Amino acid sequence: MENEFLNIYGAKLVEYGLAVVYMILFVGYWRWVQGEPAPGTNPDPKRAGRAS
Amino acid sequence: MDSTAVAATASWQVWFREKILLGMDLRTYLRSLFTPLNALAAVLIVFGLTVLVYRFAAGLGASTNLSQAQPWGLWIGFDMMSGIVLAAGGFTLGSAVHLFGMHEYHPIVRPAILTAFLGYVLAVVGLMADLGKPWNFYNMMVTPGSASALFEVACCVLMYTTVLLLEFLVPVFEWLGWRKVHERLEKAMLALTVLSVVFSTMHQSALGSLFLIAPAKLHPLWYSPYIFIFFFISAICAGISMVIVEGSLTHRIFQHRITGAHADMDKLQIGLGKAGAIVLFAYFFLKMQGVAEGEHWDLLLTGWGAWFLVEIVGFVLVPSLLYGYGARYKKVKLVRTAAVLTVIGIVLNRLNVSVIAYNFDKPTHYVPSWMEVSMSIGLVTLGVVAFRWIANRMPIMSEDPNFAGGEF
């Protein structure tokens, strides 16, 4: 038998799952944005040193 | 006339010629104004102001397509909501420089504050046009509705515009050469910056809180109990992006007004791009949380869902990734492209919330009248012309060397 009042847990599960995925991706994205590309991997090496 | 009076008149004439007429005599100055772009701007401004006068003479019913069912239109969605959010660069950059000590961004603070000040003034003009009886506005201070989100917006906008005026007066006093009052105002600037952050945080989010009373009118994909958080975070995104867009344009157009060493705009914009990437990334997931909280995933497969995805993928996630890629690989053009996309996206969001997705299920939908559109265009043009007039005369692009050394 389906209990209507338990449905909210499904929504909460998605919310918490989304938050965990976000935090994992955020840490990686933060490090990627803040980091310097490895030597030789800059797609436009002419401008590589200009803003550093 | 005695010799003192003659000397005073001559000195006033010299001041007027140097400070207002840019060193030209009146005839040459007036002749210099006759350019195609100035003519176009004059037509747009005169047309917009004529509509404004007509609105007060004939009323809202005659000049707009607003109705009892749709009381908010373009003047609220664009002039007010978008004008306020795009002016967020003032408090975003001001707090970064003066509160968080990121002094490398100091050269672009003044243009950001001027943009914010003009944005708020024009938003207030748009709001006045939209109010049924604007002359009664003082009542909000006499009988404050302290439990009302609208009161919070009105009160904070009023106070923040005053703070922006005071911040803008620093370059004005440099321009006028009023050293004593300039020094006093500079001493108060840290307190003003703190106030600007407080008022901005309050009213940028409160603009979203206005929609908390309309859960049935706003489309579920845009409505969320967290809408005030969305409004605040998106204001930071818009502030960062507007500083990049406006800095790219003004640094090129007003290059002749920069005294001393030129700031490395590419480096500053790449730094702002890093911030933009992170904040937009967070904003994207917050919007996803809004969908998850309301369990509206099925709505993403509808026409409104497609439009929602255009907004949050095309104008939030894509600019975030462009910002990130551009900042990491020092591609400043990508950062500027991301800034333009973000500005468009945030304006689209405000229009979606207050106009397009509002009353989404009504049989007839609001479309702004030509008079509403022309007044909005006229106000934006007036803002651009005012910015140019001020930046060409006052020390906006860089400090007056005679006043150098101050923090602000």
Q: Is residue B3 part of a domain?
A: no
- Give me the pLDDT at residue B408, please: 47
Is A30 in Cβ contact with B278 (below 8 Å)?
A: yes
DSSP string computed for B378-405:
HHHHHHHHHHHHHHTTSS-SS--GGGTT
| Domain interval for residue B103 | 44-403
Size of interface A-B (CB pairs under 8 A): 63
Q: Is residue B104 part of a domain?
A: yes
Chain B residues in contact with A18 (beta carbon < 8 A): 285, 288-289, 292
Considering chain B, what is the average pLDDT of its residues? 91
- How many domains does chain B fold into? 1
Q: Is residue B4 part of a domain?
A: no
Beta bridge partners of B358: B218
**DSSP-derived 3-state class of residue B373:** helix
Considering chain A, what is the average pLDDT of its residues? 76
Q: Is residue B287 part of a domain?
A: yes
Q: Is residue B75 part of a domain?
A: yes
- Give me the pLDDT at residue B19, please: 85
- Give me the pLDDT at residue A5, please: 61
Q: Is residue B6 part of a domain?
A: no
The residue ranking higher by pLDDT, A4 or B379, is B379
Assess whether pLDDT exceeds 80 at residue B147: yes
- Identify whether the C-beta of residue B251 lies closer than 8 Å to the C-beta of residue B110: no
Residue B265, chain A, CB below 8 Å: the answer is: no
Residue B385 neighbours by CB under 8 Å, 6+ apart: B41, B45
CATH of the domain at B360: 1.20.1630.10
Q: Tens digit of pLDDT for each residue in B16-42?
A: 888 888 888 889 999 999 999 999 999
Residue B405 banded pLDDT, cuts 50, 70, 90: low
Q: How many CA atoms lie within 13 A of B266 on its CB side?
A: 14
Residues of chain A with pLDDT under 50: 49, 51-52
Is A26 in Cβ contact with B295 (below 8 Å)?
A: no
Q: Tens digit of pLDDT for each residue in B196-213?
A: 999 999 999 999 999 999
Assess whether pLDDT exceeds 90 at residue B229: yes
Instruction: Return the residue of A nearest to B270 by Cα.
Output: A51
Is A19 in Cβ contact with B289 (below 8 Å)?
A: yes
- Give me the pLDDT at residue B138, please: 86
Kindly state the average pLDDT of the residues B79-101: 91
Q: Which of B272, B328, B335 to mutate to test the interface with A (most CBs of A within 10 A)?
A: B328
Beta bridge partners of B165: none
**Residue carrying structure tokens 């005294």:** B259
Q: Tens digit of pLDDT for each residue in B267-318?
A: 999 999 999 999 999 999 999 999 998 889 999 999 999 999 999 999 999 9
Residue B275, chain A, CB below 8 Å: the answer is: no
Percent of chain B residues topping a pLDDT of 90: 68
Kindly state the average pLDDT of the residues B97-115: 90
- Give me the pLDDT at residue A10, please: 76
Chain A residues in contact with B331 (beta carbon < 8 A): 44, 47
Distance from CA of B267 to the nearest CA of A (A): 5
Distance from CA of B302 to the nearest CA of A (A): 20
Cα angle B167, B173, B176 (rounded to 5 degrees) comes to 150
* Stated pTM of the model: 0.89
Q: Which of B144-153, B269-278, B375-384 has the lowest mean pLDDT?
A: B144-153
Q: How far apart are CA A40 and CA B297, in angstroms?
A: 43
Residue B266, chain A, CB below 8 Å: the answer is: yes
A39 torsion bin: left (phi>0), alpha (psi -120 to 50), beta (else): beta
Assess whether pLDDT exceeds 60 at residue B76: yes
Q: Is residue B28 part of a domain?
A: no
- Identify whether the C-beta of residue B284 lies closer than 8 Å to the C-beta of residue B342: no
Residue A40 neighbours by CB under 8 Å, 6+ apart: none
Beta bridge partners of B218: B358
- Identify whether the C-beta of residue B100 lies closer than 8 Å to the C-beta of residue B378: no
Q: Tens digit of pLDDT for each residue in B152-191?
A: 899 999 999 999 999 999 999 999 988 899 999 988 888 9
Distance from CA of A1 to the nearest CA of B (A): 22
Is A42 in Cβ contact with B324 (below 8 Å)?
A: no
Q: Is residue B29 part of a domain?
A: no
Chain A residues in contact with B324 (beta carbon < 8 A): 29, 32-33
| ipTM of this predicted structure | 0.80
Q: How far apart are CA B19 and CA A21, in angstroms?
A: 57
Chain B residues in contact with A33 (beta carbon < 8 A): 274, 277-278, 323-324, 327-328
